[in-house]
Amino acid sequence: MLIGGNKEKVIANMRAAAERGDLNCKVETDDPVLSPEEREKIVRHYLDNYKTLGYRFCNVCARALTDTATRWLNRDTRIEGLENIKEIHGGAIVTSNHFSPLDNTAVRKAMNRAGYRRLFIVSQETNLAMKGWIGFLMNHEDIIPLVNHSEYLRKYFGPMIRERLRHGDAILIYPEQEMWFHYRKPRPPKRGAYYYAAVNRVPVISCFVEIRDLPGKENEEFHKTRYVMHILKPVYPDPDKSVRENSREMMRQDYQQKAEAYEHAYGKKLTYDFKTEDIAGWIPG
């Protein structure tokens, strides 16, 4: 299932970004654009609403919708490597490659199989401005908004992360930051996910989603695809290292594992030379 219209411009943006080595930049063309004032207003509304009875009711509805969608969208998704995390029973940070608005459903299916009842997702605050049913889910599902502002990170974001981890929940943080549509390759991560794992002394559940093309067409631009979710070895903080040292080492280990998983899944060396086959299912015009 694809979300959004024509992807020609998005793929052109991805090609240009890969060629200049800017692998974490925004490439989508239809994401909401908000002024600083609008960003503050929308996040303030979310925070004010977060613990109300109305939010809790909508959260139950949103979670039911998401669970139903997860089962349907991932009816053909295969999960490999659950045995790697059988010893993890408490809160954890989950990392995965980010290539679709719906790829979190594959992660959700895997975490449900691992015994987690809820998966919280860190999402940029601009996603709260989305409309329709996606906007409803963004505002009422298990979302932790991310705002790149030091006071917000200290006063709200960090405590929300800590609270959910203490509850024993899994939190998905995309270390690649921006979504690159149907891009098969794992991109170099940013340090945030590993910082929060290190500071809270919890493991990183390392995931890589392989995308396999299917014969039938989804539309005129793309073949249908299915996922193979690879759960890799968890990455633990070292109690004898500082938060900074741990976050850097955990980031290095996680990226190395994802690169190796890519090479094993696709039978090729990971480079960032852009090729048509980098975009799963793409039928170039």
Q: Rounded to whole angstroms, how far apart are CA atoms 104 and 106?
A: 5
Tokens of 66: 């998401």
The edge-to-edge listing of strands for the beta sheet with 92-95 is 78-80, 223-231, 204-217, 92-95, 170-172, 119-124, 143-146
Q: Rounded to whole angstroms, how far apart are CA atoms 43 and 140?
A: 13
Q: Which three-class secondary structure state does DSSP give residue 276? A: helix
CA-wise closest residue to 231 among 258, 256, 266, 212: 258
pLDDT in tens, the chain (285 residues): 455 567 999 999 999 999 999 999 999 988 778 888 888 889 999 999 988 999 999 999 999 999 999 999 999 999 999 999 999 999 999 999 999 999 999 999 999 999 999 999 999 998 898 888 888 999 999 999 999 888 999 999 999 999 999 999 999 999 999 999 999 999 999 999 999 999 999 999 999 999 999 999 988 899 999 999 999 999 999 999 999 999 999 999 999 999 999 999 999 999 999 999 999 999 987
Pairing of strands 223-231, 204-217: antiparallel
**Sign of the alpha-carbon dihedral angle for 232, 181, 171, 237:** positive
Interhelix angle 158-166/192-199, rounded to 10 degrees, is 60
